[in-house]
Amino acid sequence: MSNAAHQIVTVDIGGTHARFAIATIAADGAITMDEPETLHTEDHTSFQTAWEDYRARKGGTLPDGVTMAIAGPVTGEVIRFTNNPWIIRPALVKSKLGVKRFTIVNDFEAVGHAVARAPEDQFVHLTGPDQPLAPTGRLSVLGPGTGLGVAHLYREPTGEYRVSATEGGHIDFAPLDQIEDAILARLRKRHNRVSVERVVAGPAISDIYQTLAALEGKPVTDEDDIAIWTRGQDGSDSLAAAAVDRFCLSLGSVAGDIALAQGGFGGVVIAGGLGYRLRDTLLTSGFAERFRAKGRFAELMGTIPVKLIVHPQPGLFGAAAAYAREHL
């Protein structure tokens, strides 16, 4: 680590938004950020034009290092996003953006770095024993947004850690009751294979809502998912509220499955903007019961602390941490 503070641009690019901030990495490794700027991906035809927009907003100049957290795989000569049409060619990043050094990580790899580095007061307890995340061993990290991000974090006894991004959001959805059977049947009309991301991600609330309406024989029109989320959480629509509760049940099931698959017995962390907005609902829903409902492993599941990271920008913070590990 250098003896001087270092400034970089940190970027978190999802399916709907690209968030930019200036991060300062202190000599002791502490990371601080200025107020992030949020750009809509649909307003820009490429990452470069979004970068130029941000640069103009910051007065025409930016630091000469950039770190990017990207919603999708980050290997290969061309990086494509899972839920937006932008592409990034790593070989051209320095020349296109005018930077000297860069880091590119998967968005949930970045969140894994944030989980590793964030202080205890940046986590809210959801279920399991009310204790800190394990200081060593494996943790599972997942978060619903435009898609469903999944990663795991391994903490060494030495204090070092390793983060691995995964595509766990694309495992098969496993319904547990008749309502989820109906949700699966609706989704299967459009998708031969239904992944958990089709049920546990922001846009999924529309299909959940439509399914519940059909089961109750209520006519509803196709609506923007944001409108359903809003009515489901402000108490103005009981059917939308039921859809939100159903979403939380499915999130609990998926979080438990991910922990079992990864061996995340040191702790599970829910991340993402949607998880943050659902923090109060998760505490009062059937999330905890579904997380534990793993048959012979229910007792084991009950020993896992499950937290919600409430850092306002874990993707930006974690991407900066990834840059510091690689370059400083």
**Residue 99 assigned ligand-binding role:** no
> What confidence category does residue 84 fall into, taking pLDDT thresholds of 50, 70 and 90?
confident
Structure confidence by residue, pLDDT tens digits, 251-299:
999 999 999 999 999 999 999 878 888 988 999 999 999 999 999 999 9
Residue 26, φ and ψ in degrees, nearest 5: -75, 170
Model pTM score: 0.87
Q: Is residue 107 a contact partner of residue 70, using CB atoms and an 8 Å limit? A: yes
Task: Report the distance separating Cα 26 and Cα 242, nearest Å.
Answer: 46
Sorted by where each starts, the structural domains of the chain and their CATH numbers stand as 6-106+313-327 (3.30.420.40), 169-309 (3.40.367.20)
Amino acid identity, position 39: L
**Residue 38 assigned ligand-binding role:** no
Q: What is the pLDDT of residue 4?
A: 80
Q: Is residue 288 a contact partner of residue 195, using CB atoms and an 8 Å limit? A: no
Q: What is the pLDDT of residue 1?
A: 54
**Residue 12 assigned ligand-binding role:** yes
Interacting residues of 110 by C-beta distance below 8 A, sequence separation 6+:
12, 69, 314, 315, 316, 318, 319, 321, 322
Of 69, 68, 126, the C-alpha closest to 102 is 68
**Residue 16 assigned ligand-binding role:** yes
**Residue 196 assigned ligand-binding role:** no
**Residue 217 assigned ligand-binding role:** no
